Structure 1
Amino acid sequence: MQELHTLDQLGKVHLMGIGGVGVSAVARLMLARGLTVSGTDAKELPVLDDLREAGARIHVGYAAENLGDADTVVISSIIKAGNPEYDEAVSRGLRILHRSQGLAATMEGHHVITVAGTHGKTTTTSLIAFMLREAGISPTFAIGANIASLGFNAEYGAGRVFVAEADESDASFMNYQPDVVVITNIEADHLDHYGSVEAVHQSFHAFASLLPADGLLICCADDEGSRALAARMRRERPDLRVQTYGFSEDADRRLLDAHPRDNRFACTLEWGSGQETDLEIALPGNHNLLNAAAAFAVGLDCGLDPEAAVEGLGAFTGAARRFDFRGEAGGVRVYDDYAHHPTEVLAALRAARAVAGTGAVHVLFQPHLFSRTNEFHREFGQALSLADTAYVLEIYPARETPIPGVTSELVTKELDTAGGLVSTGQAASVVAACAKPGDVIMTIGAGDVTEQGSAILAELRTRLGS
């Protein structure tokens, strides 16, 4: 764990990459706590106006003089040496904190609930924050996506509870001091950082070990990695409270009889000795029922009445780019999802199958990162084969440089369904041509594939009418 900092140590704070979803959340909370905040981003973004209105001094375009009289600089993982502001901060000897360290400072004095996992953490964190707010607890929260149901991805509440999404991608979740840890699942990912699957699992173990005596660890019993962590922590830390949730028979919060119900998804949730309640949510798929069960377990620990907890969960309408309904044209529904790991892709397509009913499912997928494509191209191909047609764009590189021989063709070679490679310019027309009334189209990936949704809807209107 890194050195912990308190807000009164930070002085005036300058945030680099302030338009990013994670850094903007830190800025919003620091402003709410009364700090003097400035920041820079490479381009003008809508969130910057929100931060200006909240009192931040904002610059567009990096320059050394933008630091002004800052005492502390907060950066995201993409800020490196060579950035003029970063280099200026180093030359001045300013305190430089990772985004997660800045967020940890805003947690001071709170009961901290953190949600980690390879998949599902954004939705689960959002469900918890929304449920608690609906119940009148007024939590502070910081989430890795914009949440329409909550208004923003971060808000400073009047209550003592702080709910935060904990990012494992670079092990920065080790900067927190959680009182409650939720682990949705543990799988191989971010191997460019960790190097091995074993190191991934060890990182989650180290994170759970941050819990204090009588802290609460909540793990998914249906996921092998999360289940193993729960068992290990029960052996190593008898001073902790460890709970599990899932469809597994031995789960402490057990889900039964999952089924669609009028465009919603429902199940029975057993949560104690002979105690059960009906859980119904607006989010499709068994994986989202699991996310809701994790949130329910947190709600009980916060003292919520079970009926109040499920009522709040049922009113939540989703996080941005998590099975996000983009529109309907010609009887074809179009959804967008951020899934960028094979397990996430499979979960998204299973949900699409449930929503489509007797209709077909068509997917436009964009791999994210050369390293992840190289590691999981077989698994991506297998997951995408659940769709009736699967078209694949070229890899979205994000922070990486190309790896020789690693292209989207590695994925398409593994497809066991119709489809194949498609260019960005042709994607919308090619995918729309596959669909007929009653079908579902999904755009999937963590890159700019999300921009294809509106183009696909336009093509559908031309082909099938509105």
Structure 2
Amino acid sequence: MKVPVPDEILPAEQLGRVHFVGIGGAGLSAIARIMLERGVTVSGSDGTDSPTLAALREMGADVHVGHAATHVAGADTVIVSTAVREDNPEVVAALAAGVRLWPRSAGLASVMVGKRTVAVAGTHGKTTTTSLLTSALQAAGADPTYAVGGDFAATGTNAHDGSGDLFVAEADESDGAFLVYRPFGAVVTNVEADHLDHFGTEEAYRAAFDFFLTRIEDGGFLVVVVDDPGAAALAGAAESRGIAVLRVGESDRADLRLTDLEFVGNRSSASVTVSGPLAHLAGAGGALGRLELQIPGRHYLLDAAAALAAGLQVGHDFVDLARGLAGFTGTRRRMERKGEAAGVRVYDSYAHHPVEIAGDLQAARALAGEGRVVVAFQPHLVSRTRIFGAEMGRALEAADEVVVLDVHLAREDADPEVTGALVADACGLGEDRVAYVPDFDAVPDELVRRARPGDLVLTLGAGTVTQLGPRVLDLLGGA
């Protein structure tokens, strides 16, 4: 559901009792956590119960499973998830009562009021980069407020109201939300066509990132991963607006450059050198030191480089920031290890775009070593599958065995002509190595049938595919 952004965004403390429709989602639950920590009265509802709802109840929220008009009685502000339909009884009741009805973006903006915000945007890598920056700043003693689109593996939470003046926020572009914020600093990891169900065309999608630059405060900064053409293209436009730009990446155009990349098991590392606006931070030769991560993959090193540059820009020391990056143990659903049974390791990741699939399969290959990579992929959204289904299938060719599920519908209606078969048919590994399995409950058995000792099973997608890992481990353990 599309809800208009209000002309005036009040600070959270002035919103009265706040009710969240879809409170179990990553976006709304993060806002709710911060409001609860600030003493705001919070209620909410979601379609199904979850550990997230249980955690919010423990914090003092009045949370319901299922939607009913009575849940919004007495609410002063109702914040709605994009996935909620217009005929939701709580939305209908809120409109009838004339209470303040806000989209998620306005809710997040309300908890940013009074903070210096660093907004992390981009087609891919937002959650990981936001999490890495938060971890780095915490190690440097900054104690930022943060809101992330996934739970930290170490803490199990996706948000916290810190005591410092910084706010690190994942700035989601999927529904244009990132254009509501007024950050002091911004990070753009990459820009590639996505979310065309909202933007319509690739040109409109890229134009949104151009407009995002106008939202950066005067005297603010922008970090771009210069290895990505879409992100790099923003640098010149930002500089023409008087925004300080830091370029990061492996390219010799980077102000913070990664060299000598190494990948060993679940660890990644690279040497860091600086030049240009960051040259004063290092001695002759520009060497800062070695960047070490506990997560595998080149794309994660680039995310860490962007986080590092942002941390340096707000005034923190490389040694402290690097320590925080080295101590980061990952975010749930981003190459998250679920366990091992019968010699088979099982990982889960949120990748749902062809570029993300390719990046995670590269990381999985390094983790698998001599073993094979067996993937279960669940396409996400009918519109995305219609546009990118063939590219998804080709990206999956980097695996050894592939099981494709049917499309996770999320906020869209089913289309009989757009199914997981579009992805499976485009994967050129051969019929014996690719299977389309539309029956969700049949997928664990199919994965176990294909996996051998030493292999790595990877569940990929933004939907319910994350539920399969534990079931696979149970089947392997009982084999």
TM-score class normalised by the smaller sequence: over 0.9
After TM superposition, give the deviation of residue 303 of structure 1 in Å.
1.7
SS class of match (1:31): helix
Query: Partners in 1 of 2:456 and 2:54 — Cα distance?
Result: 36
* Alignment partner of 1:107 is 2:112: yes
After TM superposition, give the deviation of residue 269 of structure 1 in Å.
1.2
1:26 and 1:103 in contact (8 A); partners too: yes
After TM superposition, give the deviation of residue 182 of structure 1 in Å.
0.4
* Alignment partner of 1:268 is 2:271: yes
Give the corresponding residue for 2:39: 34
CA RMSD across the alignment: 1.6
Query: Partners in 2 of 1:82 and 1:28 — Cα distance?
Result: 27
1:124 and 1:292 in contact (8 A); partners too: yes
After TM superposition, give the deviation of residue 58 of structure 1 in Å.
2.7
Structure 1 residues 137-196: Cα deviation after superposition (integer angstroms, max 9, x where no partner): 111001111112244101001111101101100001111110111001111111111110
* Alignment partner of 1:3 is 2:7: yes
Query: Partners in 1 of 2:296 and 2:189 — Cα distance?
Result: 17
Give the corresponding residue for 1:356: 368
After TM superposition, give the deviation of residue 14 of structure 1 in Å.
1.8
Query: Partners in 1 of 2:139 and 2:164 — Cα distance?
Result: 13
1:2 and 1:174 in contact (8 A); partners too: no
Give the corresponding residue for 1:89: 94
Structure 1 residues 113-149: Cα deviation after superposition (integer angstroms, max 9, x where no partner): 1101111000110111111112221110011111122
SS class of match (2:55): helix
Comparing 348-357 with 397-406, greater Cα deviation is found at 397-406
Q: Which residue, 381, 399, 406 being the options, matches 2:393?
A: 381
- Structure 1 371/153 Cα, relative in aligned 2: closer, same or farther at 3 Å? same
Comparing 377-386 with 260-269, greater Cα deviation is found at 260-269
SS class of match (2:426): coil
TM-score, normalised by the number of residues in structure 2:
0.92
Q: How does 1:62-101 map to 2 (within 5 A)?
A: 62-101=67-106
Give the corresponding residue for 2:347: 335
- Structure 1 354/374 Cα, relative in aligned 2: closer, same or farther at 3 Å? same
SS class of match (1:380): helix
Structure 1 residues 302-341: Cα deviation after superposition (integer angstroms, max 9, x where no partner): 2221111111100001001100101112222111111000
After TM superposition, give the deviation of residue 421 of structure 1 in Å.
1.2
2:27 and 2:148 in contact (8 A); partners too: yes
1:4 and 1:175 in contact (8 A); partners too: no
Query: Partners in 1 of 2:327 and 2:339 — Cα distance?
Result: 20
SS class of match (2:398): coil
SS class of match (2:288): strand
Query: Partners in 1 of 2:64 and 2:459 — Cα distance?
Result: 33
Structure 1 residues 94-119: Cα deviation after superposition (integer angstroms, max 9, x where no partner): 11111110111111111101101111
After TM superposition, give the deviation of residue 26 of structure 1 in Å.
1.2
- Structure 1 452/43 Cα, relative in aligned 2: closer, same or farther at 3 Å? closer
2:174 and 2:198 in contact (8 A); partners too: yes
After TM superposition, give the deviation of residue 459 of structure 1 in Å.
3.2
* Alignment partner of 1:449 is 2:465: yes
2:259 and 2:271 in contact (8 A); partners too: yes
Comparing 253-262 with 134-143, greater Cα deviation is found at 253-262
- Structure 1 45/453 Cα, relative in aligned 2: closer, same or farther at 3 Å? closer
Give the corresponding residue for 2:474: 458
After TM superposition, give the deviation of residue 262 of structure 1 in Å.
5.6
1:4 and 1:105 in contact (8 A); partners too: no
* Alignment partner of 1:419 is 2:434: yes
Q: Which residue, 31, 48, 56 being the options, matches 2:53?
A: 48
Structure 1 residues 34-69: Cα deviation after superposition (integer angstroms, max 9, x where no partner): 222222223333333332332323333322222232
Residue type of the alignment partner of 1:24: S
- Structure 1 53/246 Cα, relative in aligned 2: closer, same or farther at 3 Å? same
Give the corresponding residue for 1:347: 359
Query: Partners in 2 of 1:67 and 1:171 — Cα distance?
Result: 26
Residue type of the alignment partner of 2:250: F
- Consecutive unaligned residues of structure 1, counting only runs of 5 or more, are none
Query: Partners in 1 of 2:20 and 2:418 — Cα distance?
Result: 35
Query: Partners in 2 of 1:118 and 1:100 — Cα distance?
Result: 17
Structure 1 residues 395-454: Cα deviation after superposition (integer angstroms, max 9, x where no partner): 111121122421212111211212221242332222223232322111111111111112
Give the corresponding residue for 2:448: 432
SS class of match (2:48): coil
After TM superposition, give the deviation of residue 2 of structure 1 in Å.
5.2
Q: How does 1:114-153 map to 2 (within 5 A)?
A: 114-153=119-158
Q: How many residues align?
A: 461
- Consecutive unaligned residues of structure 2, counting only runs of 5 or more, are 280-285
What percent of counterpart residues are identical?
A: 46
Query: Partners in 2 of 1:113 and 1:209 — Cα distance?
Result: 14
Q: Which residue, 387, 398, 410 being the options, matches 2:422?
A: 410
Structure 1 residues 331-370: Cα deviation after superposition (integer angstroms, max 9, x where no partner): 2211111100000000010001111122211111111111
Query: Partners in 2 of 1:413 and 1:262 — Cα distance?
Result: 32
2:6 and 2:102 in contact (8 A); partners too: no
Residue type of the alignment partner of 2:10: T
1:4 and 1:101 in contact (8 A); partners too: no
Query: Partners in 1 of 2:310 and 2:459 — Cα distance?
Result: 32
Residue type of the alignment partner of 2:73: G
Structure 1 residues 280-302: Cα deviation after superposition (integer angstroms, max 9, x where no partner): 10110000000110110111112
TM-score, normalised by the number of residues in structure 1:
0.95
Give the corresponding residue for 1:289: 301
Comparing 423-432 with 397-406, greater Cα deviation is found at 423-432
Comparing 280-289 with 450-459, greater Cα deviation is found at 450-459
Residue type of the alignment partner of 2:141: G
Q: Which residue, 273, 296, 310 being the options, matches 1:298?
A: 310
2:255 and 2:274 in contact (8 A); partners too: yes
Comparing 288-297 with 349-358, greater Cα deviation is found at 349-358
Structure 1 residues 245-299: Cα deviation after superposition (integer angstroms, max 9, x where no partner): 1111111111111112464111111123423210010110000000110110111
Query: Partners in 2 of 1:154 and 1:382 — Cα distance?
Result: 36
Query: Partners in 1 of 2:320 and 2:78 — Cα distance?
Result: 41
2:292 and 2:326 in contact (8 A); partners too: yes
